[in-house]
Amino acid sequence: MVWLLVIASMTSAIIAILRRSWRWMLVSAVLYSPFAWYLDATPRFKGTLFILLFHLAAAFLLHRNRRVIASLLLMPNAALNIFIALTVIFQPVP
């Protein structure tokens, strides 16, 4: 269920960048928040709630018509999602 929210969050972030809509970016932040809270509760990924601040900053920058900088702010989010997905996919099975 959480991975569906991550995919929906990334999709809405892409839509926000393409349409230059700060509202879609806020939707993306709301959709991503359960995953960020879950990761923040684990000892290995403390501080992942700050990724939500990147979403909010990207929404503000989209409101100011700074699309390139807003898309660059989402790169840590994408890198974390890819890292977690690859860790889950390639974990050793007993």
Contact between 14 and 75 under an 8 Å Cβ cutoff? The reply is no
> 4-21: per-residue pLDDT in tens?
999 999 999 999 999 999
In this structure, is residue 19 part of a structural domain?
yes
In this structure, is residue 94 part of a structural domain?
no
In this structure, is residue 69 part of a structural domain?
yes
Question: pLDDT band at residue 93, thresholds of 50, 70 and 90?
Answer: confident
In this structure, is residue 35 part of a structural domain?
yes
**CA distances for 33 relative to 9, 28, 40, 89, angstroms:** 9, 9, 10, 22
Contact between 37 and 11 under an 8 Å Cβ cutoff? The reply is no
Domain total in the chain: 1
In this structure, is residue 46 part of a structural domain?
yes
> 76-88: per-residue pLDDT in tens?
999 999 999 999 8
Domain of 32? 2-89
In this structure, is residue 40 part of a structural domain?
yes
- Residue (of 82, 33, 85) closest to 54 by Cα position: 33
> 7-65: per-residue pLDDT in tens?
999 999 999 999 999 999 999 999 999 999 998 998 888 888 888 899 999 999 999 99
In this structure, is residue 22 part of a structural domain?
yes
- Within 8 A by CB and 6+ apart from 27, the residues are 12, 16
In this structure, is residue 34 part of a structural domain?
yes
